[in-house]
Structure 1
């Protein structure tokens, strides 16, 4: 069972880690490329702030974004801001999300995100945790997949394995980090491919952060995953 209160606390911890790390940068560093194609570090921080606002919209029953075009325009508008403005925005928008999460509510209700995707309200704090911690890695400032909390790595691996489960273009795949195991891809009585590796490498491949060169693959080639 998902404990949304626990996940809200984890989001706060992840946010503080990110803010502490970003505070050591300067304006020039924010203008440098992040690990996400076409985005500077400023774009990543602007996205994180606007994502927090968007999840407040979801919790309060409004559309997540006005439109895809408005979402992209907001990120482009906010990306060039100086360090102090970025830090303030990420901090204040995160606080807004936490306040919305602390309001008594039916956490079993179904909510709608982008592109018609639905989920239970109780999963939103974990989704936000994933945004904060994975984009912290995307900043390329010394926080790596190996530094992620073990609980997060295990849960996000399971979440992404479920996301690709049943996908017709992904072969039936058995995933293992040496301790835990997951299934993803097409439904089949027996997995076509087995992919194994360190927890960070398995997650990195599923999340599109690593090419999978450090993974061991048996039964075929490393599956090509669709975009997230």
Structure 2
């Protein structure tokens, strides 16, 4: 069961953790490459601020972004700002998101995200938690997927497995941890079934296209399937 109140608290904790880590940097550190191709650390922070505002839009029944071009242009515009400006924006946008989450609302209502995707309002705080947590990893500052809570790893693995479920370009995949525990299935109905085994952080790295994208996972039945871009 989704507990949006707990997720809102987790968003705040994750945001505070990221801000604390970044606060010790200087402007030069922001210009360094992140772990996301083509993005500096400044791009990652700018995206996090604008994503918070975009999710405020979602919860208020507005379009998440005006359009894809505006989203990308806003990130590019804000990426080169100095550290103090980035931090102030991160804090202010986080406060705006938390404020709208605290307003009386029907959390069972359907909201619209990007590209016509819809979801329950109650799931939006977790989506924000995912943005903050995974992009903290993308900053390449010593915080990895293995540092994330097990609850987070399990929930995001479930979410991404569902995302790739039914995709014809992905064969049937069974996910397992090294102790043999099943962690769900994904992929389509065609092709040779594959069992993919590894710790939770490595399974998430593969599903989310992070790190070495599953290079340390083991497979049975065939090679590790290549997933489409997120």
* TM-score of Structure 1 vs Structure 2, range by shorter chain: over 0.9
Q: Which runs of 5+ in 2 are unaligned?
A: none
Query: Which residue in 2 is equivalent to 1:226?
Result: 228
Q: CA deviation at 1:213?
A: 1.1
Query: Which residue in 2 is equivalent to 1:100?
Result: 100
Q: CA deviation at 1:176?
A: 1.1
Q: CA deviation at 1:6?
A: 0.6
Contact 1:174–1:191 under 8 Å retained in 2:
no
- The 2-side partners of 1:122 and 1:160 are apart by 18
Aligned with residue 215 of structure 1, among 211, 214, 217: 217
Contact 2:174–2:182 under 8 Å retained in 1:
no
Q: 1:15-55 CA deviation, whole Å, 9 max, x = no partner? A: 00000000011100000100001100000000000000000
SS of the equivalent of 1:142 reads: coil
- The 2-side partners of 1:146 and 1:125 are apart by 21
Query: Which residue in 2 is equivalent to 1:154?
Result: 154
Query: Which residue in 1 is equivalent to 2:193?
Result: 192
Residue 173 (str. 1) matches residue 173 (str. 2): yes
Contact 2:192–2:222 under 8 Å retained in 1:
no
Q: Which runs of 5+ in 1 are unaligned?
A: none
- The 2-side partners of 1:201 and 1:218 are apart by 16
Question: Which stretches of structure 1, 4 residues or more, deviate above 6 A after TM superposition?
Answer: none
SS of the equivalent of 2:209 reads: coil
Q: TM-score, normalised by structure 1?
A: 0.97
What does residue range 61-80 of structure 1 map to in structure 2 within 5 Å?
61-80=61-80
Query: Which residue in 1 is equivalent to 2:114?
Result: 114
Q: CA deviation at 1:194?
A: 0.0
Q: 1:151-179 CA deviation, whole Å, 9 max, x = no partner? A: 11111011100110111111000001233
Q: CA deviation at 1:187?
A: 3.4
Q: CA deviation at 1:211?
A: 2.1
Query: Which residue in 2 is equivalent to 1:144?
Result: 144
**Aligned residue pairs, count:** 227
Question: Does 20-29 or 173-182 show the bigger shift?
Answer: 173-182
